Amino acid sequence: MRMYDIIMKKRNGGELSREEIDYFIKGYTKGEIPDYQVSALMMAIYFRKMTEAETLALTMAMAHSGDFLDLSGIHGVKVDKHSTGGVGDKTSLALTPMVAACGIPVAKMSGRGLGHTGGTIDKLESFPGFTTALTTEQFIENVNSIGIAIMGQTADLAPADKKLYALRDVTATVDNLSLIASSIMSKKLAAGADAIVLDVKTGSGAFMKQECDARALAEEMVKIGKNAGRKTVAVISDMDQPLGFAVGNALEVKEAIETLKGNGPKDFVELCLTLGSQMLVAGGKAKDSEEAKKALDAVIADGSALKKLAEFVAAQGGDVDVVYHPEKLPRATIICPVPAPSSGYLSHIVCDEVGICSLILGGGRETKESEIDLSVGLVLCKKVGDYVAAGEPLAKIYANDERKAAEAKKRYLAACTITDKAPEQSPFIKGIIC
Ligand code: URA
């Protein structure tokens, strides 16, 4: 078999066999097939797409490219959660301590930023000293002792996805149904949870811009999960504007902490309660969503979710003081408002552009080797549907470089539409697939 023939077959619209998919995944994982050939194949897949059979074969090949985690040493039903990625998506930071505080063991593997979206691991590194480089033994030990651990993808766990994820991030080949489904499901299957709750985003800040595509992605992932014998549920949620107000690593951590203190933004709280209730029901801690939501509300009200975050940060080497004093998080030196050019209703925000503003400021990677600036980003002052007077800030930019701040400001303004008429509001949660 030759990689050249596989690229050509896909480029010409052919269907790859399981053997061809296994060949390129094995070769790429071992370092025998170079990045440039795999980039070409990713681009061919991007344009030609994959069939359901190819997507399943790719998922299984990537899941089996390394070890499967054995979580049998963790007591109780292990429930994992994964987002397809969005702007201002700090859900795991607040949701995992909430769920853990309700008694569900959280053993989660998370990723770094991808394309215009941020990643949980980068955000968590805003806590000075925090590490996600845990051994499997430490990971299991932490879940058993405090109920929660989050680790980065190790070299042994779905290594093919780890390499492909970093490659797709810098080759404009992220937003393809089969590549997203196989990336997420391969690592979720390898990470060993009993139940998987997926947060599938749709809208201008998501990889799936159209709701019908997000639904198809959700259905595909639920099918793959069930085929593999895991209880799998997908929630389809809005990403047509940033989630909450904060976009950028440390800024999002601060918003997640505020949420655990009961001061969270409305859309973000709704998402945490919806996903959390699916996790509690899947884990057998609640009989239905009503009961689950009450339990989740209670752990915020009595402070136990915030305490769980503090235990989690301490167990992974982070500075706990920052949980109680978020003003100690990395801070940008420049804060500048983006004034509205006219009065009216903010009727639309091109959401992926907001993610790109954060990238421009230094909050994401331009190349696989880029270092990120944890302190930069944006905080929205107005959300879609809000009235704004001319000159009032639409958002505030947090930067460490005047030139980058000016560029982000220009881009943010161009991403916003202000109209005389208030826009129609659509539901935030678009559906649940199970
Ligand atoms: N999250 C992932 O883990 N992979 C993708 O391809 C997209 C979002």
Q: Is 93 in the pocket of ligand 1 (CB under 6 A)?
A: no
A 10 A CB-CB count for 424 gives 7
Cα–Cα dist 420/418, whole Å: 7
Q: Residues in the chain, how many?
A: 434
Q: How do residues 161-192 score in pLDDT, each as one tens digit?
A: 999 998 998 899 999 999 999 999 999 999 98
168 is an active site residue: yes
Q: Which atom of ligand 1 is nearest to the CA of 183?
A: 4
75 is an active site residue: no
Cα–Cα dist 282/222, whole Å: 14
Q: Is the pLDDT of residue 370 over 90?
A: no
222 residue type, one letter:
V
Q: Is this prediction's pTM over 0.85?
A: yes
A 10 A CB-CB count for 4 gives 10
Query: Can you give the pLDDT at residue 366?
Result: 72
213 is an active site residue: no
Q: Is 137 exposed, middle or buried (0-12, 13-18, 19+ CB in 10 A)?
A: exposed
Q: Is 180 in the pocket of ligand 1 (CB under 6 A)?
A: yes
Q: Is the pLDDT of residue 337 over 90?
A: yes
Question: What are the tokens at 49?
Answer: 């797409």
Q: Is 208 in the pocket of ligand 1 (CB under 6 A)?
A: no
Q: How do residues 98-136 score in pLDDT, each as one tens digit?
A: 999 999 999 888 877 777 787 899 999 999 999 998 888
Q: Is 159 in the pocket of ligand 1 (CB under 6 A)?
A: no
Query: Can you give the pLDDT at residue 300?
Result: 98
